[in-house]
Amino acid sequence: MKEKIKVGYIGLGGRGLNVLQENFIKMEDVEIKYLCDVLESRMQLAVELFEKDGLPIPITTTCSDDIMNDPEVDAVVIMTGWNTHIDLAKKSMLAGKYTAIEVGCAYDLQECFDLIDIYEQTKSPLMMLENCCYGRNEMMALRLVKEGIFGEIVHCRGGYRHYLPSEDLFPERAYNHYRAHEYVNRNCEQYPTHELGPICKCLNINRGNRLMKLTSTASKSRALKDYVTRYLPEDSEFQNVEFKQGDIVNTIITCANGETILLTLDTTLPIPYYSRDFTVRGTKGCFEEDRFTVFLEGQTEDFLLYPGMKADEVFNKKQEKDFALYDHPLWAEYVKTEMRGGHGGFDWLVCRAFVESVKRGIETPIDAYDTVTLMAIAPLSEMSIQKGGMPVSIPDFTRGKWIRREPPLQTKYSLDEIVTDPDTPI
């Protein structure tokens, strides 16, 4: 077990800089040996963070090979845009590094197979840093599923329902953002991982269950053109552009064990953002993020006390009661200590999960198979939409191993089993 690990950190855009500042830079068992970005100016911003905290200044480089070629580097954290994750991840795994990538999908199935080929050849762990897998609601639901409180799980649902045009969709609105170009050129479920990551863990995907097929249907594309016309400068590169991305994309996945999963991409029509609609439905109860968090069969009193719908005190009271009863041990411990990092503390947990695996030299709780399963949704939904909603088979990236894969060595960050381990600090 390593006391301290050396990390090469690639990608210092908005998200990359934030995750560095809020998480990795604060970890005493992590040494950021390298900072890498194509822009010197972004590396300078990062260096200033280390100077401010009086920390040793990492080596800065615009060439990721410097990191891959350094045998001292234990792990590579890839925080670049979606469009460069895969090539960097391949290099990193081929160099034998633990590899973490920020969320995002592949463009093509072959990229997913390539990652699996390299993983099976090198055994270099690959982990998508899917922070919502460590959300408090998501982990509470996971605990209730594992303990059988919901009965047999039959259906799950989630949606990325976040109105982006006024936030970080267009470069005019956010630092050098590439996302708008994805919306110009593609029409698919581009961003499913925040819902599907936690859902896959509730359904034991790649360990006794798998995603079998999906159908995907996109609405017409109207909102972005309308927004650009009304709100972006006349000289914006997006004026008079036709966006291919439908405003709403619904995708339905069927699993090997008969469960269905509904995913919704909902990012261009005006709507308040306050949930990912995370929903787990079983024969004895359910979790619904939006309405009543936990609901158990026959639980009328709760339902009368709290009609089950959010709204400040009422909902928070219900949620606090549920946390008191059903909080996942990791979160129960976490809230007793200082919550850290961004996004209500779950960025910190997913980064710690990765670091703990590197220190122990064990598999990551979200592994290479889980990662490519999530990454494959975009190209698969694109195929289904292109074919007018035809069902598309989801490849078995485990090549049959899903039927009887043993869970890896477990830590308190495990998403397969509930492990309590007071000796590992959060």
**Using CB under 8 A, which of 233, 298, 344, 361 touches a copy of itself?**
298
Q: Confirm or reject binding of residue 383 to a copy of itself (CB under 8 A).
A: no
Minimum CB separation of residue 388 from a copy of itself in Å reads 5
Part in contact with a copy of itself (CB under 8 A); list of ranges 123-131, 275-283, 331-339, 344-352: 275-283
**Using CB under 8 A, which of 14, 96, 151, 171 touches a copy of itself?**
151
> Exposure of 343 by Cβ count < 10 A (0-12 exposed, 13-18 middle, 19+ buried)?
middle
Minimum CB separation of residue 238 from a copy of itself in Å reads 16
Instruction: Tell me how far apart the alpha carbons of residues 120 and 139 are, in angstroms, rounded to a whole number.
Output: 29
DSSP output for 331-395: HHHHHHS---SSGGGHHHHHHHHHHHHHHHT---SS-HHHHHHHHTHHHHHHHHHHTTS--EEPP
Residue the block writes with tokens 């581009």: 190
Token pair recorded at residue 317: 């009271």
- Give the angle subtended at the CA of 328 by the CAs of 326 and 334, to the nearest 5°: 125
Q: Confirm or reject binding of residue 262 to a copy of itself (CB under 8 A).
A: yes
- Give the angle subtended at the CA of 79 by the CAs of 73 and 84, to the nearest 5°: 100
Token pair recorded at residue 423: 């000796």
* C-alpha distance from residue 29 to each of 7, 25, 426 (Å): 10, 10, 12
Minimum CB separation of residue 7 from a copy of itself in Å reads 39
CB-wise, 85 or 157, nearer to a copy of itself? 157
CB-wise, 269 or 419, nearer to a copy of itself? 269
CB-wise, 114 or 226, nearer to a copy of itself? 226
**Using CB under 8 A, which of 47, 94, 296, 419 touches a copy of itself?**
296
Part in contact with a copy of itself (CB under 8 A); list of ranges 50-58, 96-104, 147-155, 364-372: 147-155
Part in contact with a copy of itself (CB under 8 A); list of ranges 109-117, 217-225, 372-380, 398-406: 217-225
Minimum CB separation of residue 287 from a copy of itself in Å reads 11
- 3-class DSSP assignment, residue 157: strand
**Using CB under 8 A, which of 36, 118, 145, 248 touches a copy of itself?**
248
**Using CB under 8 A, which of 40, 297, 320, 417 touches a copy of itself?**
297
**Using CB under 8 A, which of 8, 192, 308, 345 touches a copy of itself?**
308
Q: Tell me the torsion sign for CA atoms 266, 274, 77, 1.
A: negative
Q: Confirm or reject binding of residue 309 to a copy of itself (CB under 8 A).
A: yes
Instruction: Tell me how far apart the alpha carbons of residues 377 and 385 are, in angstroms, rounded to a whole number.
Output: 12
**Using CB under 8 A, which of 160, 292, 334, 348 touches a copy of itself?**
292
Q: Confirm or reject binding of residue 303 to a copy of itself (CB under 8 A).
A: yes
CA proximity to 261, closest of 322, 198, 305? 198
**Using CB under 8 A, which of 284, 321, 340, 343 touches a copy of itself?**
284
Q: Confirm or reject binding of residue 106 to a copy of itself (CB under 8 A).
A: no
Tally of CA atoms within 13 A in the half-sphere of 138 that contains its CB: 30
- 3-class DSSP assignment, residue 27: coil
Cβ(131)–Cβ(347) under 8 Å?
Answer: yes
Q: Which residues bind a copy of itself (CB under 8 A)?
A: 151-152, 154-155, 213, 215, 217-220, 222-223, 226, 246-248, 250, 252, 254, 257-260, 262, 264, 269-272, 274, 281-286, 288, 290-292, 295-298, 303, 306-312, 314-315, 388-391
